[in-house]
Amino acid sequence: MRLATALCAAVVALVGPALAAPNVSVDPNAIGKPPIDNWTTFNGDYTGQRYSTLIQITPANVNQIAQQWVYKITNLGGQRGAAPVIKCTPLLVNGVLYITIPDHLFALDARTGKELWRYDWVDHGGHLIGQRGVGIWKSTVYFLAPDNWLIALDATTGKELWRKNFADARKQYFSTSAPLVVKDHVIVGVGGDAMDMPGFLDSFDPVTGNLQWTWWSTPRTGDPVLKTWPNEATSQHGGGMTWMPGTYDPELNLLFWPTGNTNPVFAGQGRPGANLWTESLVALDADSGKLKWYFQVSPHDTHDFDNTTAPILFDKVIDGRPRKLVSQAARNGFFVTLDRVTGKYLVVKPFVPLDYYSGLSPQGEPIPIPDKDPSVGGSINIVNATNWEAPSYSRRTGLFYVNAVEGLAIYYLTDDSAHPSGYSGTGATIGLSRRVLKAIDPLTGRSVWIHEYPNLNNAATTVGPSILTTAANLLITGDDQKNLIIYSADKGDVLWHHEMTANQSDGLITYMLDGKQWILAGAGDSLYAYSLNK
Amino acid sequence: MRHPFLIAISAGGLALLAAIAISQETQNAAPPSNAPKTNTTPAGGSRAGFNGTPEQRAAATRVFLGLGSEPDKAAAARGAPIFQQNCAFCHGSQAHGAEGPSLITSDVVLGDEHGEHLVGFLKSGRPEKGMPSFAGLPDDQLKDIAEFLHLQVEEVANRGTYHVLNILVGDASKGQTYVAAKCMSCHTAGAFDHFASKFRSPDQLQRGWVWPTRPADKSLAITATVKTADGATISGRVTQVSDFRITLVGSDGQTHIVDRTPAVDVQMKDPLAPHQAMIMTLKNDDMHHVTAYLETLK
């Protein structure tokens, strides 16, 4: 019945007199390549670096860039009472931009910002907390609805081709992610931690939508890793959602996927053990979904430290030997650099002040101090240091850039029984939260420079938005006073800023179109397009 | 500029700060105090708390989470003793599971709205899995059990319904010693008389003393002294600041907006800085002791 309603409700709205929408098609072999005149995946390429080789906009001419058009989302009504906020990273193919908010996908003309078509979904459950964007393969766009539908659309017309439901919204699974297209796989992760369900990652056939494989974030019957859980039942209610897109190394054919918090969220007493593979970075074979290695960044998490911040892939020469590495500025406040072939750690080091761990395990995993767990009387610990907003790695500077928050909160346990369920906790921030942009050397975990954002409203523990770097030594990101700011990536000097109508809320992209370098920034309900004034 | 969390307190007697982390928005929301003025989507549990009653907060969180229809609380209350007598042995007193499975994520429970499926299910049971038939109970009692189960799901999944437990776990006499040793260099004798009367609940008291609200009379406002490019000095209460601009209200009530060019010097001062310093080293036990002590000052 629910399905029937949804079938009637999903519509494509063609706007005004039909604009000549270019035929959109992308060569599957071009997906994930360094972005120049297209932006074909959530992170632009498969590395997650969000680093552009474009150099038309430079420190010398950056003060000549100006806003060229703005696209504002209007006439959609509220999103269950909340205003629409663009939290996606746009894709760009053949001059067509694809942006999303929960339940809605928009195709825009990249030259003018004019809407070409819009796809509207009427959800039946799921959370409308955000939508990160679409995936694309040949001439098909893949969009996730909040109530866990994978929807395939014609990239030129917006006409729906097929849809597939992959998780039960009644169990509080919900979808916000951008599908990651790798070879002939559409990789789809899922969110939802209100009801103690297990996380999973699905791979679908891009043509038929048939399920190719599923990887579960917690172990199934017979798996030796079950020893990190008290029993199978807790494992199968143990969380580990896969709600942010991962990254991919074509040479290794490995997906690097971050997994979310353990369930029950704040109450760990019912699940003694490390609780694998929640709170981990896992390497999976892209064709089979088989686990190659894992590294658990937050063993036995009790603070909703979703380990879902982007794992960035990069290569360095260490002691004369080329190394394939992966780094993460984790939400639990640790900066982690691993060998991405083996999963062995090189660096595990706090990048915000924290005192909740007693040391590292032989594998390099932080060992949490039990007294720092949420308690009935309240327990002080850090707020989330980072979140889903994308960091960046510059191949020019060799530095890793992340917006972070340094702050504290009192965490309370609201269910101290032997069998807690759901969140089972809550809390309150205390003190001043410091918002910082950090440039971190990924081989030491140390900050090379730090920019502290002045803030009066106690930072609201807001994590700063996504970051983009370019080969012209630019670093682009926003503050929480509505400014889009361009810094020098090597030193952190402010070179340019522009005040928008809201804080930057989405992933930034840059590309060449008609000989000009563009920078796009989403802020609240509006998408801003900048280029050099000529 | 008042702290949003304290707006919540004063507005609604909010039993609890909304869920600390809306997983994907902790991101922007983190603990409950996310400012409604930022661009962050005021996620779930926290939004309704700003100016609503606990019931409104629970209802708004229900909408945000996309939970199904609201359980009938009166029926659930009738169903509670029947569940405890007939079902809790296997499924636990809150249906979180015991010998038998948790029912919070049960397809049968979640597929039911108000007993239309569950009543029949309970009548037939699931003998192949060891669950007996409850056909001996009348339909209205089975329906009450169904509502009880829906309420258990609600109390797990809807974090807008959460309440702290009894947070008074400290030793008041140790708290008194801590206050005497650490607080009196700034605060005067008698400063804490009737302190607990200012708060609606111990958790509000605890947060209120650890990180005081900035009162409406602006006495704890952040101030700044700004030296402008042409050599003038402006002092006042800061109402906005970024890398590029600072806005102050002077003692004369005038608003000054200054662009922060390299020649402009800004020195900000926060009267709560000593509390910030205390927070950075505050131990959980000391916090509990002081809260227990202050709770006695009514």
Query: Smallest Cα–Cα separation from A230: which of A189, A287, A268?
Result: A268
Helical residues (DSSP H) of A207-315, grouped into ranges: 232-235
Report CA-CA distances (Å) from B91 to A54, A419, B94, B111.
Answer: 61, 11, 8, 18
| Pairwise CA distance, residues A329 & A332, whole Å | 8
At the second CATH level, the architecture of B73-157 is Orthogonal Bundle (1.10)
Contacts of B286 (CB under 8 A, 6+ apart): B174, B175, B178
CA contacts within 13 A on the Cβ side of A299 = 20
Structural tokens at position A384: 């989330």
- Is residue B196 within 8 Å of B295, Cβ to Cβ? yes
How confident is the model at residue A56, as a pLDDT? 98
CA A192 from centre of chain:
15
Residue B36's pLDDT band (boundaries 50, 70, 90)? very low
Residue A29 pLDDT? 94
Q: Is residue B9 very low, low, confident or very high in pLDDT (cuts 50, 70, 90)?
A: very low
The predicted model scores a pTM of 0.92
Q: Mean pLDDT of all residues in chain B?
A: 84
Query: By the CB < 8 Å criterion, does B105 face chain A?
Result: yes
Whether A341 contacts A358, CB under 8 Å? no
Q: A389-411: b or e for each residue (b if 16 or more CB lie within 10 Å)? A: bbbbbbebbebbbbbbbbbbbbb
Q: Is A520 left (phi over 0), alpha (psi -120 to 50) or beta?
A: beta
Strands A135-137 and A140-144: antiparallel
Query: B256-284 burial string, b = 16+ CB within 10 Å, else e?
Result: bebebeeeeebeeebebeebeebbeebeb
The verdict on a CB contact (< 8 Å) between A261 and B23 is: yes
Lowest pLDDT segment from A64-78, A304-318, B71-85: A64-78
Task: Answer yes or no: is pLDDT of A420 > 50.
Answer: yes
pLDDT at B28: 33
pLDDT in tens, B148-186: 999 999 999 999 999 999 999 999 999 999 999 999 999
Cα separation, B28 vs B43, whole angstroms: 9
The mean pLDDT value for A440-463 works out to 85
What does the alpha-carbon distance between residue B25 and residue B37 come to, in Å, rounded to a whole number?
A: 15
Q: Of chain A residues 35-54, which have a CB less than 8 A from chain B?
A: none
Residue B146's CB is within 10 A of a number of other CB atoms, namely: 28
Q: How confident is the model at residue A91 (pLDDT cuts 50, 70, 90)?
A: very high
Residue numbers of A between 411 and 430 with CB closer than 8 Å to B: 411-414, 416-417, 419-423, 425-430
Strand partners, A434: A406
Least confident of A33-47, A403-417, B64-78: B64-78
SS (H, E, C) A138-164: ECEEEEECCCCEEEEEECCCCCEEEEE
Q: Which of the two residues, A209 and B66, has the higher pLDDT score? A: A209
Partners of residue A180 on adjacent β-strands = A187
Domain locations along chain A: 2-514+523-532
Q: Can you tell me the distance from the alpha carbon of B206 to that of B276, in angstroms, rounded to the nearest whole number?
A: 15
Mean pLDDT, rounded, of chain A = 94
Q: How far apart are CA A480 and CA A212, in angstroms?
A: 42
Helices (H), A281-337: none
Residue whose entry in the numeric block shows the structure tokens 């948790």: B102
Residues of chain B neighbouring A331 (CB-CB closer than 8 A)? 26
User: Length of chain A, please?
Assistant: 534
Across the interface, of B28, B66, B166, the residue whose CB is closest to A376 is: B166
Cis omega (within 30 of 0) for bond into A69: no
Q: What tokens does B232 get?
A: 């003038």
The DSSP-derived string for A175-209 is --PPPEEETTEEEEE-B--SS--B-EEEEE-TTT-
Nearest C-alpha in A relative to B91: A419
With tokens 């494989």, the residue in question is A213
Distance CA B115, CA A368 (A): 44
Please give the pLDDT value at position B203. Answer: 95
**Alpha-helical regions (H) of chain B:** 4-12, 23-26, 44-49, 54-65, 73-86, 88-91, 107-110, 118-124, 139-157, 172-182, 202-210, 273-281, 284-295
Q: Touching check for A182 and chain B: CB below 8 Å?
A: no
In B233-252, the residues whose Cβ lies within 8 Å of chain A are: 238-246
SS3 B57: helix
Q: How confident is the model at residue A185 (pLDDT cuts 50, 70, 90)?
A: very high
Which of A344-348, A385-389, B28-32, B294-298 comes out lowest in average pLDDT?
B28-32
Measured between alpha carbons, how far is A147 from A98 in angstroms, rounded to an integer? 20
B30 to A421: CB separation less than 8 angstroms, yes or no: no
The proportion of chain B whose per-residue pLDDT surpasses 90, expressed as a percent, equals 71
8 Å CB contact between B287 and B203:
no
Between CA A394 and CA A20 the distance in angstroms is: 37
If pLDDT is split at 50, 70 and 90, which confidence band does B69 have? confident
**B34 three-class SS:** coil
Chain A residue numbers touching B284 (CB-CB < 8 A): 371, 375, 377-380
* Cβ pairs A/B, distance under 8 A: 292
- Mean pLDDT, residues B141-151: 97
Residue B17 has pLDDT above 50, yes or no: no
Second-level CATH architecture of A2-514+523-532: 8 Propeller (2.140)
pLDDT at A468 over 90: yes
Only one residue has tokens 């400290």, namely B170
Q: What is the pLDDT of residues A210-253, one digit of tens each?
A: 999 999 999 999 999 999 999 999 999 999 999 999 999 999 99
pLDDT the model gives residue B7: 28
| Cα dihedral sign, B179-B185-B187-B190 | positive
User: Which pLDDT score, from 0 to 100, does residue A256 have?
Assistant: 98
Q: Write out pLDDT tens, residues B236-294.
A: 999 999 999 999 999 899 999 999 999 999 999 999 999 999 999 999 999 999 999 99
Residue B50 has pLDDT above 80, yes or no: no
Cis preceding linkage at A264, omega within 30: yes
**Residues 6 or more apart whose Cβ sits within 8 Å of residue A518:** A68, A110, A510, A511, A512, A529, A530, A531
Q: Count of CB atoms within 10 A of residue B81's CB?
A: 12
**pLDDT of B37:** 24
Report A:211-270 residues touching B (Cβ under 8 A).
233, 237, 241, 243, 260-261, 265-266
Q: Report yes or no: A169 at the B interface, CB cutoff 8 Å.
A: yes
> What's the CA gap between B177 and B187, in Å, rounded?
15
- Rounded to an integer, what distance in angstroms lies between the CA atom of residue A377 and that of residue A379? 7
Instruction: Answer for the pair A425, B16: CB distance below 8 angstroms, yes or no.
Output: no
Please, which pLDDT band fits residue A30 given cuts at 50, 70 and 90?
very high
B35–A429 CB contact, under 8 Å: no
Write out chain B residues lying below 8 Å of A460, CB-based: 4, 30, 33-35, 38, 40
Give the pLDDT of residue A356: 97
CA angle B279, B284, B285 (to 5 degrees): 125
Query: Which tens digit of pLDDT belongs to each residue from A255-299?
Result: 999 999 999 999 999 999 999 999 999 999 999 999 999 999 999
Report yes or no: B133 at the A interface, CB cutoff 8 Å: no
Q: Compare CB distances from B157 to A168, A194, A524 and report the shortest one's residue.
A: A194
pLDDT at residue number A12? 65
* pLDDT tens track for A398-418: 999 999 999 999 999 999 999
Q: Tally the C-alpha atoms within 13 A of residue A99's C-alpha that lie toward its C-beta.
A: 30
Residues of A whose CB is below 8 A from B22: 129
Domain topology for B223-270: SH3 type barrels. (2.30.30)
Dmax (CA) for chain B in angstroms is 89
Contact criterion met (CB < 8 Å) for A431 and B159: no
Q: What is the pLDDT of residues B180-199, one digit of tens each?
A: 999 999 999 899 999 999 99
Please state, as a whole number, how many other Cβ atoms lie within 10 Å of the Cβ of residue A118: 18
Q: Percentage of residues in chain B with pLDDT exceeding 70?
A: 83
Cβ of residue A319 closer than 8 Å to a chain B Cβ: no
Residues of chain B found within 8 Å of residue A303, distances taken between Cβ atoms: 21
At which residue do the structure tokens 């947060």 appear? Answer: B207
pLDDT given for residue A507 in this prediction? 87
